[in-house]
Structure 1
Amino acid sequence: MKLTTLVLFWILPLGLNAQDSTQKLSFQPTIHVRSFWMSTSYQKDFKDDFAWGNSLSLGIKSNYLQKWYFRASIRGFLNTWSSDIYANDPLTNRDNRYETGLFDLLNRGDKAFLSFENLSLAYKSTKWEIEIGRMGVNTPWINPQDGRLAPTLMEGLRLGFNPSSDWKVSGWFIHRLRVRGTKDWLRPGETVGIFPVARDVNGLPSQYFNNTESRSILISEVEKESEWGTFNFSNTWAAHLFSTYWFQWERDWNREEKTSFFFTGLQLGFQHGIRNGGNDNPLLAFKDPSDQNWVVSTRVGWKNSKVEAHLNTSILRGKGRWLSPREWGKDAWYTFIPRERNEGYESLEALTAYFSFQYRRNIQLFGHMGFHWLPDIGDPLANKYAFPSYRQVNLGVKFHPKNYQKLDFQILVMNKEALGSQNLSPTQRYNKVEMIHLNIIANWSLN
């Protein structure tokens, strides 16, 4: 695969460029520069950390007859400046959870490295779309989760079919992933456990990293537009691990008649384990095959040309843990707030609110607040990460300079605190609550 990648990356663009005189083919470079400052501070007890990372993606994209599309890119990463992020916290002997994810979690300490990214060929018509190779992916449970120097990407096949203007059918076959925080392309099972593995159902350290067998992921999705709103149904099937069914309905009320309007959303999810959960030995398996969980998530909001606000709820119940590898993307439910996930629980109640204000055409202010009630920390089956119930607040700003449309900035400040008067040990607080987390991000792109 590496040899094929190199050949296609250098030879195919030259061949396409040579035919440019036909005026049927277009060819242009792609560039993406990202600079990311991240820091995590605690009031007491624990060590503070910071990291400044930069990445540069260079590539090409071309199309022939507005039907055939080719894309290729490679990205370089650099740890420009950081604290000793790979040293464990002295009090808890736990490693850093946030800043290390800017770089390569599988080769800790590498200051600079390269990663091949996009390498795909696509065909698009009015009804059909097919793409093969390495590409972006954005589905409910496999998605970019673009909170680091580069997003998660997939290698495989993507299909799309639009039988009419109000129907859309899509499918994905994922053979490998390049998850955020790594540079290597790995089989799905090999990616499970790159992020912290926490504890198994018996309360002992989980052992599924490098022991999980899952060679592919299949995703199917159907979307329907109607006068009653947008209906979406998908299934995410991860070989040997789990199958997740996801339904979503969203509607804007009287949007065509008013400058401001209400909107609502409903999500229903069901997940069950399949096969052996990733390994015939239960102590090495990622998931208990007998797990069955369901979730209901709701949204109600209001929006006009300057303001958007919504209130969200989620309730999770069932037998065993709802699991979706954190390496594969963010949560799909409405109560997700950036910089934390609610995965690995048997039950959950969450209430979150979002507010944004378009101060000027190029400045947006936004904020999240959420309350997340989790199972008892002392129950390892119900609470994989020994995470306390918590309150989270995010405040941020997005800025696009008027004279530099290809440049954008984002600042995000996050705080998490435990709910109530929980008697927490240092390991139940470090990396989890009682922190101020700061992100400053700059992007420049040509694509």
Structure 2
Amino acid sequence: MLFLHIILLPARVIAQEHGQEANLPDTSSVKNVQELFTKGELHGHVRNYFMATLNHRSLSDHYANALGAEIGVRTASFHGFRLGISGIFTYNLFSSHLDQKDPIAGKYPSNEGELFDIENPHNKDNLDRLESAYLEYRTEKLHVRIGRFDFTSPLINPQDTRMKPYSVQGVMAQVPVGQHTKLTAAWLDHFSPRGVIEWGNTRHTIGLYSNGVNIDGSPSGYRHHIESRGVAVAGLQGQGIQNSQWQAWNYWIENIANTSYGRVVMPISDRMKVGLEGLYQFQLGNGGHPAHDSTYFPDQQEWVAGGMVGYSTPQWALSANYLHTGGNGRFTFPREWGREQFFATLSRGRLEGTGQSDILVVKSTRNWAPGLSSELALAKAWLPGYGNAALNKYGAVSYWGTLLDVTYTPLLPALKGVVLRLLYIGKLSPNTSLPLERMYYNTNFQQINFVSQLNF
């Protein structure tokens, strides 16, 4: 098993791991290597993703259609040990000119580009990526995984909402602590962000999407210059009094920053619940590099606080969600490692990179019929001015946001495994003084996404 893990780890195969692990029986009667696979499990999906964005005025509009598939294998369990390997391939069936920068903004189309390879916009078919290759050991009291795998937490997570999710490499262990609590500990030193086909260490992945600006407004140049060996993650998740759900996480990015996050959700009646969350972070070492223009995390203490009030029935769920970033700087965490999962989180609406900002989001979900559900959300974000570099890393601007997300899973036996999703996103900043070139995929745009997927 160890030999197989070593030779398969660097291999380039086609597939992507997603979803929940199947609880395969411990097949200690396996007699040879072949039976590890014949008694194991094949999983994956085929996905078609169409995206189109209508940008503001004379800014260029774009569209793209990606087709891809995931193939993965998990062997049978042999005395608690199991090998998993998966990967994904993607093809650009058709698209607008994603390899051409907008003549006004001087940037490539970011959202459609993330369906393929943002490091090489000309690449349309060489888009395969090793997604996972790991050896794990699992019992009732211990779960250990080493290699390449997906990792789920509030700040580092797969977020499989394009063709490729965020993936990590390292070692992870989970153990139960008491009857209702689970401890997770991990060391992660390599990452493969969404929208790329290669793996890289901390130095090469932080800043891949955008470096933004320093607190004095000068361009940041920390990518490829960061000095950090990786991130240590520790998390506790559990159930408290009155069926409350809570979690606490700490992310220690060596030589860069320490970030602590916690949340609790408490039912107050059969139909109502409330939630609170908070985050605090501070600099470690020199923030990534001693030089000012190559420092990722400046010398600051930053905090985030949020809340939620929700009401639900068997068919409806309604919630009001609020988030505030405070402190004396900007909430900063590598967006190449996942997407922050706050109560007020919405697609295409990160608050990472801002300070002294607020967002209020009202969400409504409805189960219309078996297999058919929808979510409608309205957001209002108050952000520092785009010229306030000390509080606005990426030049974001205050906006109104709308989201409509419809998911349909056909119940016909002949269509088992098919999932259809329609996602509409709109961002509007009326009367903004933001220059036109800075609006490109930032605000004043509408976007439609249609995803059809077959799971197997």
Q: TM-score, normalised by structure 1?
A: 0.92
Assess, with a 3 A threshold, how the Cα gap between structure 1 residues 361 and 216 changes in structure 2: closer, same or farther: same
State how many pairs are aligned.
434
Corresponding position: 1:445 with 2:455: yes
Q: Which residue of 2 aligns with 1:207?
A: 221
Corresponding position: 1:411 with 2:426: no
Corresponding position: 1:137 with 2:137: no
Corresponding position: 1:187 with 2:201: yes
Per-residue deviation, 1:413: 0.6
Range moving further from structure 2, 58-67 or 274-283? 58-67
Assess, with a 3 A threshold, how the Cα gap between structure 1 residues 381 and 398 changes in structure 2: closer, same or farther: same
- Alignment of structure 1 residues 105-124 onto 2, 5 Å: 105-113=118-126, 114-124=128-138
- Alignment of structure 1 residues 32-181 onto 2, 5 Å: 32-65=45-78, 67-113=80-126, 114-181=128-195
Distance 1:124 1:8 in 2: 26
Distance 2:83 2:247 in 1: 29
Do the aligned residues in 2 keep the contact of 1:24 with 1:64 (CA within 8 Å)? no
Of residues 352, 360, 364 in structure 2, which corresponds to 1:343?
352
Q: Which residue of 2 aligns with 1:273?
A: 283
Distance 2:70 2:153 in 1: 23
Amino acid at match of 1:236: Y
Q: Which residue of 2 aligns with 1:13?
A: none
Distance 1:165 1:233 in 2: 17
Range moving further from structure 2, 307-316 or 65-74? 65-74
Q: Give aligned-pair identity as a percent.
A: 22
Assess, with a 3 A threshold, how the Cα gap between structure 1 residues 314 and 6 changes in structure 2: closer, same or farther: closer
Q: Which residue of 2 aligns with 1:240?
A: 255
Of residues 385, 393, 396 in structure 2, which corresponds to 1:387?
396
Amino acid at match of 2:266: R
Higher strand share: 1
Amino acid at match of 1:32: H
Assess, with a 3 A threshold, how the Cα gap between structure 1 residues 8 and 382 changes in structure 2: closer, same or farther: closer
Of residues 335, 339, 342 in structure 2, which corresponds to 1:333?
342
Assess, with a 3 A threshold, how the Cα gap between structure 1 residues 110 and 292 changes in structure 2: closer, same or farther: same
- Alignment of structure 1 residues 350-365 onto 2, 5 Å: 350-365=359-374
Q: Which residue of 1 aligns with 2:433?
A: 423
Distance 1:8 1:70 in 2: 16
Assess, with a 3 A threshold, how the Cα gap between structure 1 residues 61 and 378 changes in structure 2: closer, same or farther: same
Amino acid at match of 1:275: G
Distance 2:276 2:254 in 1: 28
Distance 1:440 1:7 in 2: 32
Amino acid at match of 1:343: E
Of residues 244, 265, 284 in structure 2, which corresponds to 1:250?
265
Distance 1:7 1:84 in 2: 32
Range moving further from structure 2, 70-79 or 356-365? 70-79
Q: Which residue of 2 aligns with 1:262?
A: 272
Residue by residue over 1:161-180, the C-alpha shift from the partner in whole angstroms, topping out at 9 and shown as x without a partner, is: 11332121111111211111
Per-residue deviation, 1:355: 0.6
Do the aligned residues in 2 keep the contact of 1:352 with 1:371 (CA within 8 Å)? yes
Q: Which residue of 2 aligns with 1:282?
A: 292
Distance 1:316 1:183 in 2: 33
Distance 1:29 1:392 in 2: 40
Q: Which residue of 1 aligns with 2:376?
A: 367
Range moving further from structure 2, 146-155 or 224-233? 224-233
Distance 2:354 2:381 in 1: 12
1:319 aligns to what SS in structure 2? Answer: coil
1:164 aligns to what SS in structure 2? Answer: coil
Per-residue deviation, 1:29: 1.7
Do the aligned residues in 1 keep the contact of 2:63 with 2:96 (CA within 8 Å)? yes
Do the aligned residues in 2 keep the contact of 1:89 with 1:96 (CA within 8 Å)? yes
Q: Which residue of 2 aligns with 1:5?
A: 9
Residue by residue over 1:130-157, the C-alpha shift from the partner in whole angstroms, topping out at 9 and shown as x without a partner, is: 1111111111110112221011111111
Per-residue deviation, 1:129: 1.0
Do the aligned residues in 1 keep the contact of 2:330 with 2:390 (CA within 8 Å)? yes
CA RMSD of aligned residues (A): 2.3
Distance 2:133 2:37 in 1: 21
1:297 aligns to what SS in structure 2? Answer: strand
Distance 2:275 2:432 in 1: 33
Assess, with a 3 A threshold, how the Cα gap between structure 1 residues 366 and 22 changes in structure 2: closer, same or farther: closer
Per-residue deviation, 1:349: 1.1
- Alignment of structure 1 residues 304-315 onto 2, 5 Å: 304-315=313-324
Per-residue deviation, 1:232: 1.3
Distance 1:428 1:7 in 2: 41
Residue by residue over 1:115-136, the C-alpha shift from the partner in whole angstroms, topping out at 9 and shown as x without a partner, is: 1111111111112111111111
Per-residue deviation, 1:26: 2.6
Q: TM-score, normalised by structure 2?
A: 0.90
- Alignment of structure 1 residues 210-229 onto 2, 5 Å: 210-228=224-242, 229=244
2:217 aligns to what SS in structure 1? Answer: coil
Gaps of 5+ in 2: 15-28
Corresponding position: 1:19 with 2:18: no
